[in-house]
Structure 1
Amino acid sequence: MKSNSTILFIIFFIGYNCYSQKYNGIDSLNSLTFDELQKQLIKNFKDPTKSTLYAKIILEKAKKKKDTAQILNGYSYLSIIHKGDSIVLSYADSIIKISKEIDNIRFLGIGFLNKGGYYFKKRKFNKSLDNFLHAKPYADSFPRLSYIVDHSMGILKNRLGEHQEALDIYKKSWAYVKKRNFKKTDNNNYLITIHSLASSYNKVGKYDSATFYNKLGIKEALRSKNELKYHHFLLSEGINNFSLKNYNAAYDSITKVVTNFSHKIDTPNLIVTYYYYGKILLKKEKIDSALISFKKVDSLFSSTGDIFPEARESYEFLIDHYKAKKDHKNQLKYIERLLKVDSVLNTNYKYLSRKIIREYDTPKLIQEKESAIFELEDKNIIIKNRLLLVSILLGLSIFVLTYYYRRQKTLKKRFNELINTLPKKNIKKEINNAESIGISKDIVDHILNRLEEFENNAEFLCSGITIHELSKRFETNSKYLSKIINTYKNKNFSLYINDLRISHSVEKLKSDKRFRKYTIEATAAEVGFNTTQAFSKAFYKKTGIYPSYFIKNLEKTYCD
């Protein structure tokens, strides 16, 4: 099935026997053990209000007892309950941070998996892929987590057109699902795995195998009364019949799916449903109905900002249709829309862009756009404007290419200077005429000695450090400290701290390959910055390049 696959979410709740017991009031809930709270959470899992309450009590109770394992459980339960909300990122980051502190690789895998699942749901596929890749080395030690990571990677590989690789992954997932008896213990993910197999077999042209798994999925979805999955398999088999040119059978299946999905929030599958519905209608020579179906693809894309590469063909039909009717206004409208689609596809599928270019590639679309405008406006004016536009675009292209070349050359030069520069030793500045700044020599000498210790011990890595806090530590006042830093360090306090942190991060990135594997966010936190923006800005201000560029080129340098 060439539609949306489902990212698997981690379920910790298998194996517990839920029992019926009523509790009244927060105090009585606080008196429960962690095991009792967890059982109640599982029992009420389908009620977000109740399950959130139990998860938060687990978390608060764990924090009071300083029980790290239960703190991680609390954050994990909240991540599952609120898997579609942006707060998942906060919960996942907490899981990752705590897991790193106690070296818990299982929960490190869970934290990155949760982030990957969230970003996939939000159609941020590059971030989703990054987090799944981060999760993999941790998840490989745990079969259940490894299964989820591999399945998720299969979904992204299908998105990128690597269908055979995705199929190989799903075969491995299917073996795991059967071995662990998911049919009884986790029926929903059992159906998801069957569906992924059927979809991938269709994409590699093994239609008999696709039909086998579609029928297996339909049978099991009916038995377990899973209506949504039943219609997913119905759509999958409809697409399979379309591939086999069984257009009447495909029409019967997808007509049922259109009726069902139009009443449900299942937009990604609805886009593909209308796309194939339109193609089938074209085969049945129902042009007007096909036109409506393809317009619905456009409407759904406009509302979600996401589209599957194959659905791009809907716009080619709309453009050709209105071009043939000499309706240049609508022709231009759908050319504009297709350019927007290509922009989205280029962003989300940049590694696959060569495979999604069809007859209406971007240069040709731009040419057609000009042609449609030509029909709508005065010919002489258009000719002049086109010449002017070509001149402007040519000049702009030359300017951009020149700027890009010079920019890359400058960045490379700055990188080489940075990587070849040895760390500066702490050279104490000669103290002459200390009294000229209104402070006695003894005090100046004392503060400079303390600053030297402060730098040598890397105390500047503590986040949130202030001049008032440091002056108390040095047994002086902030006015003296500020004036001495300005005079002897030639910078204000904020810049002084930031420069120390940046110099430290540069040396650590150069010498520690594990540190280079950190995310920018984790690197920033490691050297005392509260936000990645503040870290990147300070890094650029001191070095002339951004940390992401520095790390990327460091990796290339050491790999070479």
Structure 2
Amino acid sequence: MTLRLFCYKNLLLFFLPIVLLAQVHKKDLKQLPYDDLKKFFWDNERNPKKQLEYANAYLIKAKSENNPVQKARGCFLLSLLAENEKALHYLDSAIVYTKNLNDVKFPAYAYSGKGYVYKKQFKYKEAIDNFLIAESLAKKNNPDFYYDVKFSIAVLRSEELGEVQEALDLYRECFNYYKDKAVRTPQYSYSFQLVIFALADAHKALQQSDSATYYNKLGYQESKMTKDYRSNALFTLNEGANLVLKKNFYAALDSIKKAFPKMIFYKDQGNILASYYYTAKAYDGLGYKDKAVKNFIKVDSIHNITKRITPEFTSGYPYLISYFKNKGDAASQLKYITKYMYIDSVLQINYKELTKKLQKEYDTPNLIIEKESLIKSLKEDKIQSYWGIGTLLLLFIPIGMFGFHQYKLKKQYRARFDFIMNQAIVTNDDRIPVTETKKIKPNPSKIEDIGIAEDLVNQILVKLTHFETQKAFLQPNLTIQMLSETFDTNSKYVSKIVNAYKEKTFIQYHCCPIKKKPN
């Protein structure tokens, strides 16, 4: 379950105003107290243009008074409205203003803010580095924020790096800290419920469904007592996902449907994706494959918007690939192979568990072979999928192990080999169709040993005979894969038949396929 963290906003509770004043004209904003500027900033959360006015006024006021802590807070506010490098620039300025101060919030808040910016950019090493600095600073004089940062590190390790067990230990530390606080007061209720959710989610990820249910129920009761309807819906959704793992599919669908309207209301894209994903898993468990596919496709549509997906939600892609393959829908099959491989190429360094899933569930080399076959098929059938094919070709650039240069060489060698083989079939006045070549009687004992059908063995032996007769083995850099493709068969079959009937490895056979007659 994607944690829709509000930790970043949780850092900003100190921005709540003490006194609410009437709206002031823009030119007089800097005359307002800092607390009022902060209040107006958050009152206009759905109006970034207004927020920018108040944040700028805050920083101008702080600079005019040469107040380093307030300058840092002004920069921090502006960083919330910026993206990427601009946001980092504001946060770096906040660090410079307060680096030599012993303030309880700065520069620790700025370092934590940088951690979130880097996390959003998928730069997880940089994110961890900044979170650790923030944690170290907070440990000295701000225990509440110290555990906020510890929690952020745990979430990054769990969701982004797949290190769930390691994160679980950190979640427990946070839980033990908060449980002794006034957890139903505004100061601690949100943080406490967030940690409970994380514990439930981690246990679910580790297939410890009973423990997940325990924390989901605890969180549900706590959020109900504090009237936090958003958190309440999250616990309902998470238990729905947990019920899928318990194979209680009807109850799972009921819980997910109850929570889903809140996810829509709060525009929570991460948990909208989670809702579709576990709805698909529930329908699959009930045998409604078409409904499962419909929801897995919605998962993909959310990923197209957010550009973010965690290892938990990737198994929908092999499902879609298999489904459309069975349906004979080559265009859709190619589309989801492309997307699945894109996720692998972009995230495999950071998403350790995702890489394991890819290797286990759909081996990457097999995907490459299947893609090439699908492209050829689509071209022959004149299916209009040029956009998908173009995207596919572009994806080969970041996949070094299957580099474009090697692909071109392979095509060149294949073309040369095809030319030689075509010459072998039709030469001058001697035209001998392959289909008319005398059948070679395979040895029954060898057929049983290699486990390949007699007709297939005979076909491959006939083609190997032409290969030898026309001296196609002289083609340099010939591989068993190239030969197998020319024969329209599997490389494993060719290898087994060469081993059994020619009594050689393929490399030996390539060098000298025909045994010399004894003198």
Counterpart in the other structure of 2:318: 316
Offset from partner CA, 1:336-361 (integer Å, 9 cap, x none):
12111212321542586335533212
Counterpart in the other structure of 2:165: 164
Counterpart in the other structure of 1:179: 180
Counterpart in the other structure of 1:266: 268
Counterpart in the other structure of 1:143: 143
Offset from partner CA, 1:57-105 (integer Å, 9 cap, x none):
443233223222332233334446x387875323211111223355768
Give me the TM-score of the superposition, normalised by structure 2: 0.65
Structure 1 residue 60 corresponds to structure 2 residue 60? yes
Change (3 A) 1:301 1:24: closer
Offset from partner CA, 1:87-133 (integer Å, 9 cap, x none):
53232111112233557685232111011123334555444333223
Structure 2 unmatched runs, 5+: 382-401, 411-519
Counterpart in the other structure of 1:114: 113
Selected match of 1:393 from 402, 406, 409: 406
Deviation at 1:239, TM superposition (A): 1.2
Change (3 A) 1:100 1:335: same
Counterpart in the other structure of 1:488: none
Secondary structure of the corresponding residue to residue 112 of structure 1: helix
CA contact (8 A) 2:17 2:39 kept: no
CA contact (8 A) 2:280 2:293 kept: yes
CA contact (8 A) 1:157 1:165 kept: yes
Counterpart in the other structure of 2:258: 256
Counterpart in the other structure of 1:516: none
Counterpart in the other structure of 1:214: 216
Q: Matches of 1:313 and 1:372 in 2, distance apart?
A: 21
CA contact (8 A) 1:198 1:210 kept: yes
Residue 94 of structure 1 aligns with an amino acid whose one-letter code is: S
Counterpart in the other structure of 2:365: 363
CA contact (8 A) 1:125 1:348 kept: yes
Counterpart in the other structure of 1:291: 293
Secondary structure of the corresponding residue to residue 289 of structure 1: helix
Q: Matches of 1:259 and 1:92 in 2, distance apart?
A: 36
CA contact (8 A) 2:95 2:111 kept: yes
Counterpart in the other structure of 1:90: 89
Residue 162 of structure 2 aligns with an amino acid whose one-letter code is: G
What does 1:440-459 correspond to in 2, within 5 Å? none
Q: Matches of 1:322 and 1:376 in 2, distance apart?
A: 14
Q: Matches of 1:335 and 1:15 in 2, distance apart?
A: 47
Offset from partner CA, 1:446-478 (integer Å, 9 cap, x none):
xxxxxxxxxxxxxxxxxxxxxxxxxxxxxxxxx
Q: Matches of 2:407 and 2:17 in 1, distance apart?
A: 71
Give me the TM-score of the superposition, normalised by structure 1: 0.61
Q: Matches of 1:47 and 1:378 in 2, distance apart?
A: 57
Selected match of 2:309 from 307, 311, 326: 307
Q: Matches of 1:390 and 1:178 in 2, distance apart?
A: 54
Secondary structure of the corresponding residue to residue 361 of structure 2: coil
Q: Matches of 1:91 and 1:395 in 2, distance apart?
A: 47
Q: Matches of 1:40 and 1:108 in 2, distance apart?
A: 21
Q: Matches of 2:186 and 2:20 in 1, distance apart?
A: 21
Q: Matches of 2:209 and 2:74 in 1, distance apart?
A: 45
Q: Matches of 1:90 and 1:27 in 2, distance apart?
A: 26
Change (3 A) 1:86 1:180: farther
Structure 1 unmatched runs, 5+: 380-388, 398-560
Deviation at 1:195, TM superposition (A): 1.0
Deviation at 1:287, TM superposition (A): 1.3
Q: Matches of 2:7 and 2:341 in 1, distance apart?
A: 33
CA contact (8 A) 1:13 1:42 kept: no
Considering only aligned residues, what root-mean-square deviation do their CA atoms show, in Å?
3.3
Change (3 A) 1:60 1:245: same
What does 1:96-107 correspond to in 2, within 5 Å? 96-100=95-99, 106-107=105-106
CA contact (8 A) 2:209 2:242 kept: yes
Offset from partner CA, 1:518-560 (integer Å, 9 cap, x none):
xxxxxxxxxxxxxxxxxxxxxxxxxxxxxxxxxxxxxxxxxxx
Q: Matches of 1:105 and 1:191 in 2, distance apart?
A: 24
Q: Matches of 1:129 and 1:243 in 2, distance apart?
A: 31
Deviation at 1:237, TM superposition (A): 0.2
Deviation at 1:17, TM superposition (A): 7.5
Change (3 A) 1:198 1:273: same
Secondary structure of the corresponding residue to residue 6 of structure 1: coil
Q: Aligned residues: percent identity?
A: 33
Offset from partner CA, 1:429-458 (integer Å, 9 cap, x none):
xxxxxxxxxxxxxxxxxxxxxxxxxxxxxx
What does 1:334-483 correspond to in 2, within 5 Å? 334-349=336-351, 353-354=355-356, 356-376=358-378, 393=406
Residue 108 of structure 1 aligns with an amino acid whose one-letter code is: P
Residue 311 of structure 1 aligns with an amino acid whose one-letter code is: F
Secondary structure of the corresponding residue to residue 208 of structure 1: helix
Deviation at 1:244, TM superposition (A): 1.6
Structure 1 residue 38 corresponds to structure 2 residue 35? yes
Deviation at 1:153, TM superposition (A): 0.8
Count of matched residue positions in the alignment of Structure 1 and Structure 2: 383
Q: Matches of 1:356 and 1:29 in 2, distance apart?
A: 55
Residue 257 of structure 2 aligns with an amino acid whose one-letter code is: T
Change (3 A) 1:130 1:356: farther
Change (3 A) 1:348 1:15: closer
**Larger mean Cα displacement after TM superposition, 150-159 or 10-19:** 10-19
Counterpart in the other structure of 1:485: none
Counterpart in the other structure of 1:128: 127
Change (3 A) 1:270 1:17: closer
Deviation at 1:179, TM superposition (A): 3.1
Residue 393 of structure 1 aligns with an amino acid whose one-letter code is: Q
Counterpart in the other structure of 2:499: none
Residue 251 of structure 2 aligns with an amino acid whose one-letter code is: A
CA contact (8 A) 1:170 1:196 kept: yes
CA contact (8 A) 1:272 1:308 kept: no
Change (3 A) 1:37 1:15: closer
